[in-house]
Homo-oligomer: A and B are copies of this chain.
């Protein structure tokens, strides 16, 4: 049969021109670590210019400051003041959430924004404390040290954890490992944040109802038990006031959503609530009647906190763990926020550079009594709406916070905790993004499952359990993707030379005597043995089917390799085994359209010779043409022999 083969295939499948090993290696490393090609702008520049560009790369303010105009400054200042009115109450609230002294929330809205304004590459991102990492800090470190019993040690631990967050984030950025963040899928993050927001809201019932004793657990069961087991402790004054403020915040939020022109209402509502609430308490002496207040706040700027960083405490491991976990989470959140707004204004954000900026900001923060800082979604959205132009907005905000720290902290003495709780609830409830979950359900059930598991893990377990479940599910998904690729049977689309999946195109027609299979993924060690078994099962099934039909029996198996982008040694030996298996079954293996990586490896392992260069085609159509040609000539020859035989008999 092989001797008859004189069909000239039209186009030869080529192996790419081979490149020197180190050039290949260099390109692979570049593609992996520098996919955004940050060196592009350095090309063909004189040395001095390269230095300037290098400085500007690491300190973006040097790049845009010379072009900064007074117009920009006005816009940024207005945006800065606007977000400051949000930052002050939020800072105090989230610090309470992390079980830290409220003043630390204000400190954190002062130094880190200054650093970010110099180093950050986003024009819109507003930085500050965020709710989820605050909760995570409280839950992870609170397990080791009770903040109520040992506040000094607890603050030291938080500062140390913040330092490690910074070091971790900065190293990720320097080592260009930013892609680690990509492994937290959007579905995971939404589920996790939704769960955490639910938990945070539930915990605020403590503040709203004026409870003194409350569970340290975060799961819904314990919190509900804690609330309803002490109904006699509920303070009605606190509850009524809390509901009023909540209502006020929700109404302003609703109005500004309805009419974009009213967006200032939802922005100023928190500060208005704080001022109004404090005045109310001060005038009615409600703090004597069950309404808890913040109490004394120190005046003055951030004190230095080098001395409070402790590296020899027995809790160092916990601090490092907390730092790394909150660090990666706040990175994922912060960079996602920055990217979304960058897309709106059509500019590019370098994830690795952002990580470096976040890291340095947290390192500086940990030395100036600040705790973990990240990009805040709500603040950034407000800043964007207020028309911010550059990262200078953060400096505007920092200045307002500085003035507050210097002069106005005593005014917060009478701020009732229930107002802070209302602010947190109003801010958090929007993060329970059920609409996104419905969207996931419609498009991809697996994504929905991942999202829901993360949510349930946080709400019924704890923030840590939720995180483990989320990351586990994300990794499992990737591993499953790789371990179980799809194989697709193809047929000819009538009136065309195209061959496509018969599942997708029910009109596609089988070619008699030929079985066409597409492998829908690179062949790696993780799926090689699965694919080997699966291919052999496909052929078994096809042969079973043909046995019970009148079609001619199977003679050719065409593997369409278009989607096999690359392979490794396991993939090559898998193909070799498939070839052997085919030979034993007296089937001819035909390859269609192997890509450059695959051809390179097939050539190197001499597999092209084993399969036969003449059985490798550029397209499925050409392969089918050649096989049909062979089938016909084979049949004709068989007929001729038969005839000859009968002739002889005659």
Contact = CB atoms under 8 A, between A and B. Distances in A.
Given A14-B504, A32-B480, A563-B565, A520 B595 contact: yes
Contact of A10 (B447, B496, B525, B529): B496
B21 A187 contact: no
Interface stretch (A85-93, A395-403, A598-606): A598-606
A339 interface: yes
Contacts of A185: 524-526, 568, 570
B182 A443 contact: no
A460 B182 CA distance: 34
Contact of A186 (B14, B486, B497, B525): B525
A606 B360 CA distance: 42
A500 B584 CA distance: 33
Interface string A569-585: 11011000100110010
Interface in A473-526: 474, 477-486, 488, 493, 495-498, 500-501, 503-506, 520-522, 524-526
A527 interface: yes
Contacts of A593: 500
Nearest to A585: B346
A466 B482 CA distance: 24
A569 B506 CA distance: 26
A496 B569 contact: no
Contacts of A619: 498
Given A16-B504, A346-B584, A481-B482, A569 B522 contact: no
A486 B577 CA distance: 27
Interface in A343-400: 343, 346, 348, 351
A25 interface: yes
Contacts of A506: 17
Given A182-B529, A525-B186, A529-B339, A596 B501 contact: yes
B568 A498 contact: no
A562 interface: yes
A200 to B, nearest CB: 25
A578 to B, nearest CB: 11
A444 interface: yes
29 contacts: A21-B445, A25-B445, A31-B484, A36-B533, A37-B537, A179-B483, A182-B527, A183-B479, A183-B526, A186-B525, A186-B570, A186-B573, A187-B570, A346-B581, A348-B533, A348-B536, A439-B605, A443-B569, A444-B601, A474-B525, A478-B526, A481-B524, A486-B565, A486-B566, A496-B618, A497-B497, A498-B619, A501-B596, A521-B522
Interface of A: 10-11, 14-17, 21, 24-25, 31-32, 35-37, 179, 182-183, 185-187, 339, 343, 346, 348, 351, 439-440, 442-447, 474, 477-486, 488, 493, 495-498, 500-501, 503-506, 520-522, 524-530, 533-534, 536-537, 562-563, 565-566, 568-570, 572-573, 577, 580-581, 584, 593, 595-597, 599, 601, 604-605, 618-619
Given A11-B498, A185-B526, A478-B526, 20 more contacts: A10-B496, A11-B493, A14-B505, A17-B506, A21-B445, A35-B530, A35-B537, A182-B525, A185-B570, A346-B584, A348-B533, A444-B568, A478-B478, A478-B482, A497-B497, A498-B618, A500-B618, A503-B596, A520-B595, A521-B565
